[in-house]
């Protein structure tokens, strides 16, 4: 299953979208243009051969940041295989300013990862994964064959895992920006472009790095891939797996699918249980300290499941729940397409809501003191106090569907549909020398 991506996989850009009245009618981040759902302009690597470019090392001094509290890796989506979105660092007390931004060729839905040496990694709809220094200086980029929705994960040895809509998972060496291996997910006859067949094997799910270094992702099923790029197991699902699997303490892999099910898969790749929701499960599951699994669905609900897959409770919001739950402070936090951020107690009762101006796709981050950070399609990045009151918000140039990341020095990294990756910092907080 490990193979090099040939130029033959680079197809044209067929915009075969569904009819729509507004962006809201379009799945994923396709936009409504002239009555059809299409990918945003520039969101395609058509004609560009996959490969590294701009590999000049960053001029910035490589000042090390303390590593995230991850047992299994340097960095990944939701800060660990449990997906709690809980940061050991502290959000700025005052409204931060844009310290720098990096322009790419497409919207940035991917959530940034900060490696142990401070390198910021993220994907763009231009098909590239970017590495920039903590001062915003370009380090390198690597072009895959289609849009990137997923977020980079960084293994202990620095290997960067990133998935692409070209149906491949890439393991990129940080020093050379060249792939150590490329793994093809599924055998979809049409790999590139839009439409159900082209999207079925998209690698948008995470990836997640498990305690033993095994890499978990999704496509036309749930995949466990060994660190050397060989297949460990594949579990076939009835629909596309669009979000990052979570890993329980006992090694059970939990993932949602567009077949409306949440799956619990044993470490050997066999099914332990499934749980049926009323819609696509495009949100990545999160696992609490006691093993409770929290996951949203397009049926507007947030589910709390016991480790055996039985339902503890369900909480109904006013819209699709595509964001992942953050867990901290004895509470879970999750945004909905009804524009609201929900704080729900671990017993399933509502603590508070905060209303933004548009749909929330971005998964929230909880800081060391219980403050909450998330983006909204009203183009703003919000920071809330633990009691749900607004601390500050910052307006960016487009939808903020990317889940923000927080560095040790309080710098916030987040992407936007305006094609930029932003670094925001409190005015008083000078970067470390």
What's the closest the beta carbon of residue 25 comes to Ca ion, in angstroms?
A: 15
| Per CB under 5 A, 144 contacts Ca ion | no
What's the closest the beta carbon of residue 32 comes to Ca ion, in angstroms?
A: 13
* Binding span for Ca ion by CB under 5 A among 23-31, 274-282, 284-292, 368-376: 274-282
- For Ca ion, the closer of residues 184 and 317 by Cβ is 184
Interface with Ca ion: number of residues (CB under 5 A)? 11
> Which of 126, 202, 282, 320 touches Ca ion by CB under 5 A?
202
Residue 19 CB-density burial (10 A; 0-12 exposed, 13-18 middle, 19+ buried):
exposed
What's the closest the beta carbon of residue 363 comes to Ca ion, in angstroms?
A: 17
* Binding span for Ca ion by CB under 5 A among 9-17, 171-179, 192-200, 230-238: 192-200
DSSP state of 23: G
Residue 313 three-state SS = strand
What's the closest the beta carbon of residue 365 comes to Ca ion, in angstroms?
A: 20
| Per CB under 5 A, 280 contacts Ca ion | yes
Give the x-and-dash track for 234-273 against Ca ion (CB under 5 A). ------------------------x-x-------------
CA dist 151 and 399 (Å) reads 17
- For Ca ion, the closer of residues 136 and 398 by Cβ is 398
CA dist 190 and 201 (Å) reads 9
> Which of 23, 399, 401, 409 touches Ca ion by CB under 5 A?
399
Handedness of CA 313, 317, 322, 325 (dihedral sign): negative
What's the closest the beta carbon of residue 56 comes to Ca ion, in angstroms?
A: 31
Any idea which residue has 């940041």 for tokens? 65
| Per CB under 5 A, 165 contacts Ca ion | yes
- For Ca ion, the closer of residues 43 and 92 by Cβ is 43
| Per CB under 5 A, 320 contacts Ca ion | no
CB 326 within 8 A of CB 333: yes
**Chain centre distance of CA 314:** 24
- For Ca ion, the closer of residues 44 and 134 by Cβ is 44
Closest C-alpha to 358, from 387, 341, 337, 374: 337
User: What are the backbone angles phi and psi of residue 8, rounded to the nearest 5°?
Assistant: -65, -20
Q: In what order do the strands lie in the sheet with 405-406?
A: 97-103, 420-425, 412-415, 405-406
User: What are the backbone angles phi and psi of residue 247, rounded to the nearest 5°?
Assistant: -120, 125
> Which of 23, 29, 126, 167 touches Ca ion by CB under 5 A?
167
DSSP string, 92-124: -SS--EEEEEEE-SS---SPPEE-TTS-EEEE-
* Binding span for Ca ion by CB under 5 A among 66-74, 123-131, 381-389, 395-403: 395-403
* Binding span for Ca ion by CB under 5 A among 38-46, 154-162, 279-287, 325-333: 279-287
Residue 433 neighbours by CB distance under 10 Å = 5
Q: In what order do the strands lie in the sheet with 340-345?
A: 326-328, 331-335, 340-345, 350-355
What's the closest the beta carbon of residue 378 comes to Ca ion, in angstroms?
A: 6
Window 362 to 381, contacts with Ca ion (CB under 5 A) = 377, 379
**The two structure tokens encoding residue 214:** 């095994």
What's the closest the beta carbon of residue 164 comes to Ca ion, in angstroms?
A: 8
* Binding span for Ca ion by CB under 5 A among 7-15, 31-39, 161-169, 309-317: 161-169
- For Ca ion, the closer of residues 29 and 165 by Cβ is 165
Closest C-alpha to 421, from 101, 138, 113: 101
CA dist 147 and 44 (Å) reads 6
What's the closest the beta carbon of residue 186 comes to Ca ion, in angstroms?
A: 9
Q: Which residues sit at the interface with Ca ion, rule CB under 5 A?
A: 165, 167, 191, 198, 202, 258, 260, 280, 377, 379, 399
């Amino acid at each position: 299953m490990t193979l090099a991506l040939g130029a033959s996989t680079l197809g044209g850009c067929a915009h075969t979208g569904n009819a729509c009245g507004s962006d809201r009618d379009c799945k994923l981040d396709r936009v409504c243009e002239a009555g059809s759902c299409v990918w945003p302009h520039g969101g395609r690597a058509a004609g560009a051969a996959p490969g590294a470019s701009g590999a000049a090392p960053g001029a910035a001094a490589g000042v090390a940041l303390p590593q995230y509290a991850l047992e299994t890796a340097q960095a990944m989506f939701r800060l660990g295989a449990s997906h709690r979105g809980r940061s050991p660092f502290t959000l700025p007390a005052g409204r931060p300013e844009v310290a720098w931004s990096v322009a790419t060729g497409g919207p940035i839905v991917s959530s940034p990862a900060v490696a142990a040496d401070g390198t910021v990694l993220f994907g763009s709809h231009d098909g590239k994964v970017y590495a920039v220094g903590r001062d915003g200086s370009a380090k390198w980029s690597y072009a895959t064959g289609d849009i990137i929705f997923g977020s980079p994960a960084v293994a202990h040895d620095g290997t960067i895992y990133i998935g692409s809509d070209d149906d491949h998972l890439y393991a990129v060496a940080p020093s050379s920006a060249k792939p150590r291996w490329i793994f093809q997910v599924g055998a979809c006859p049409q790999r590139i472009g839009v439409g159900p067949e082209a999207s079925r094997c998209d690698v948008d799910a995470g990836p997640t790095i498990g305690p033993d270094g095994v890499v978990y992702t999704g496509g036309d099923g749930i995949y466990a891939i060994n660190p050397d790029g060989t297949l460990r197991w594949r579990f076939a699902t009835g629909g596309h797996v669009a979000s990052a699997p979570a890993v329980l303490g006992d090694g059970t892999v939990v993932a949602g699918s567009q077949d409306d099910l949440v799956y619990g898969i044993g470490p050997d790749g066999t099914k332990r249980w499934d749980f049926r929701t009323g819609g696509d499960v495009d949100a990545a599951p999160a696992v609490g300290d006691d093993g409770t699994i929290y996951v949203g669905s397009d049926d507007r609900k947030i589910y709390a499941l016991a480790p055996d897959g039985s339902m503890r409770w369900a909480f109904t919001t006013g819209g699709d729940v595509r964001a992942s739950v953050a867990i901290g402070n004895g509470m879970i936090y999750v945004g909905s397409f009804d524009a609201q951020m929900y704080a729900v107690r671990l017993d399933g009762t509502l603590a508070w809501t905060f209303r933004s101006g548009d749909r929330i796709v971005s998964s929230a981050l909880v800081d060391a003191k219980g403050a909450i950070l998330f983006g909204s399609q009203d183009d703003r990045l919000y920071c809330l106090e633990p009691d749900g009151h607004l601390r500050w918000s910052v307006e960016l140039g487009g939808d903020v569907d990317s889940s923000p990341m927080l560095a040790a020095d309080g710098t916030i990294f987040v992407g936007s549909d305006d094609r930029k990756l932003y670094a925001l910092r409190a005015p008083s907080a000078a970067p470390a020398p």
